[in-house]
Structure 1
Amino acid sequence: MQIKNIMIDQSLKELTQHRTVELPVACYETTINHNIHGYIPLHWHDELQFVYIVRGEALFQINDEEMVIRQGEGLFINSGCLHMAEDWNDTRCTYICLNVSPQFVLPKELHASYVYPYIQATNVPYYFLNPNESFGKEILDAIVKINQCIQKKPPRYEIDISVMLTFIWRSIVSNTPQIENDQTENMSYQRIKRMLNWIHQHYTEKIRLEDIARVGQLSRSETCRYFKRMIKTSPLSYVIEYRIQQSLDLLRRPESNVTEVAYQVGFNSTSYFIDKFSKSMNMTPLAYKKNQLEQWTNSEGV
């Protein structure tokens, strides 16, 4: 199953349901550039995430670190960590995404010792899963097997998945010799989430750098450094990009027009919106709208 639109709330927390009542696990293949945004936008979720690259290459950002992950390789992304992904070198990257509730990896009696401390650890935002090392290969193989179980649903597959997840988590714990919980680092990520949350609540309004700085209780220059380090862009560039991403769903609506959408997402000039949209999406808003309507018409068989 391809998830084409990663739904997130104003705090960047992902809203996509990654579980059922019976099995708090989701596993699916996703092609990055099939997403409505053309990439997987910055977000976070409570679930643990495991990634296995089936084809191509992807640039991942986890918190303030970036890395290219290639075919056959993968990642473990810890609960609560900001992350995003984009196709690298136009390789039509496809990966298996396994999302797991932390409550499901071990019996609840073991959580205090072997789950909670690890999902709170600031020194374990992610692990690179290298297929040439036993630690990485074992987890990557398990991801593929879990995906097969979910697709085929053989008898008692839920038990098989539970066993494999316990094995995966044991590997994570065994390869984390000492956990750390740096309160200063933790506060830094809470601060950036707070500033992003404010932007998402007020993006339709006029936003100044000093407004964002006030929310983060930082100076203007320190706010810029925060965004450069953690988001890889400036605060106001982030605001513009967020407005553009919010415009995509509006442009897909048959009754919308470019000028109305521009003002709805916070731009005070249609020409400025068209310029910024074109640079971000490599097409004008009108071309995007026509393209989306054609795709919808073809999918409906009209």
Structure 2
Amino acid sequence: MPIILDHQLREQIPHDGTVFPISYFHDELATLPNWAGPLHWHHDFEIATAVSGVLDFQVGRQHIILEVGDSIFVNRNMLHGIKQLSGDVPDPMPNIVFSGAVIAPETSAIYKKYIHPIACCDTLPFIVFKHKNGWHNEVNCSVKNIYCQMYEQSQCYEMAVQRELSGIFEYIFSNFEDLPKFETTRIQINAQIRIQKMLSYIYEHYAEAVTLEDIADSANISRSEAGRCFNTYMGCSPIDALIQYRLQIAHSMLNDVTLTLREISYSCGFNSVNYFSRQFKQTYGYTPSQTRTLGK
């Protein structure tokens, strides 16, 4: 299913937190243009695995390359995105998004002792479990078992998933001192807050006439500082990021054949169908009309 974000870029996770606060996803990349997902964040932990292609998993400002068989643990509230770098078909990239409450209630001694310290560790934004590292085999096996249990949902699957997640957090806690840490400065924290605010503004106002000044004002910074933030996190300008998001929305709207190209372009903030079509082809390599006729 597609990534759904609210106006604060928090991914809307459809699990019922009062029942079993974990959700399983697969084949999300196939629904995304160029097999790339937008930067977003959520309050839950996430674990994802590369199955058939090489993936570029961005967490904060860092780009982590996942080879086939590698898994990544992303800590809570971290801005992250994904892009497939190789492969002839979209990687199924199975992943789970879950609350630590799957393992134990937040008021419990287990949560406070073993989960809370990991969730609140600013120097541990992510952990990579490499398929070539023998020490990581146990975790990668647990991750695969969780995917299987969440997909099949056979009898007592919840208990099996809880057991596997407990083992993963036990591994993280037991090896905490040896895990790679990434020191985060106050400047970096402020920069991430700013990019979150500006991206939130773009996601909420993309259909309107948005200027560079509007985007910068949403984070109370100058236009030049806004440009530096976007270049650092996304390798593009704020306006380029706005156009790319408009194109992503337009790409999904093309599935509705009752809408004309003019209606789609104007509803996504483009004031010219020709300009929309040129930008679309430049980004995706085919025109909006071809998207419909070829089922791209």
TM score, norm. by length of structure 2: 0.88
> Which sits farther off after the overlay, 116-125 or 191-200?
116-125
Contact 2:13–2:23 (8 Å) recurs in 1? no
Correspondence 1:39 to 2:36: yes
> 1:197-217 deviations in whole A, cap 9, x for unaligned?
111222122222222222222
Correspondence 1:242 to 2:245: yes
Correspondence 1:103 to 2:106: no
Match of 1:55 in 2: 52
Q: Distance in 2 between matches of 1:130 and 1:45?
A: 24
RMSD of the TM alignment (CA)? Answer: 2.3
Aligned residue among 70, 81, 93 for 1:84: 81
Aligned residue among 280, 287, 292 for 1:289: 292
Amino acid at match of 1:102: G
Q: Distance in 2 between matches of 1:172 and 1:282?
A: 43
Contact 1:224–1:234 (8 Å) recurs in 2? yes
- Give 1:18 deviation, angstroms: 4.1
* Residues 1:250 and 1:56: Cα distance change in structure 2 (over 3 Å): closer
Match of 1:138 in 2: 138
Q: What is the total number of aligned residue pairs between the two structures?
A: 289
Q: Within 5 A, what are the aligned runs for 1:186-197?
A: 186-197=189-200
* Residues 1:231 and 1:119: Cα distance change in structure 2 (over 3 Å): farther
Q: Distance in 2 between matches of 1:257 and 1:237?
A: 24
* Residues 1:104 and 1:183: Cα distance change in structure 2 (over 3 Å): farther
Q: Within 5 A, what are the aligned runs for 1:1-302?
A: 3=1, 5-18=2-15, 21-30=18-27, 32=29, 34-37=30-33, 38-92=35-89, 93-108=91-106, 109=108, 110-177=110-177, 183-292=186-295
Amino acid at match of 1:261: I
Q: Distance in 2 between matches of 1:145 and 1:98?
A: 12
- Give 1:21 deviation, angstroms: 4.7
Q: Distance in 2 between matches of 1:272 and 1:116?
A: 49
Q: Distance in 2 between matches of 1:91 and 1:288?
A: 18
Q: Distance in 1 between matches of 2:186 and 2:111?
A: 21
Contact 1:61–1:83 (8 Å) recurs in 2? yes
Q: Distance in 2 between matches of 1:260 and 1:100?
A: 38
- Give 1:19 deviation, angstroms: 5.1
- Give 1:50 deviation, angstroms: 0.9
> 1:77-132 deviations in whole A, cap 9, x for unaligned?
11111222122123422322122212223343233343233223221111111123
- Give 1:181 deviation, angstroms: 7.3
- Give 1:241 deviation, angstroms: 0.4
Tell me, which stretches of 5 or more residues in structure 1 are unaligned?
296-302
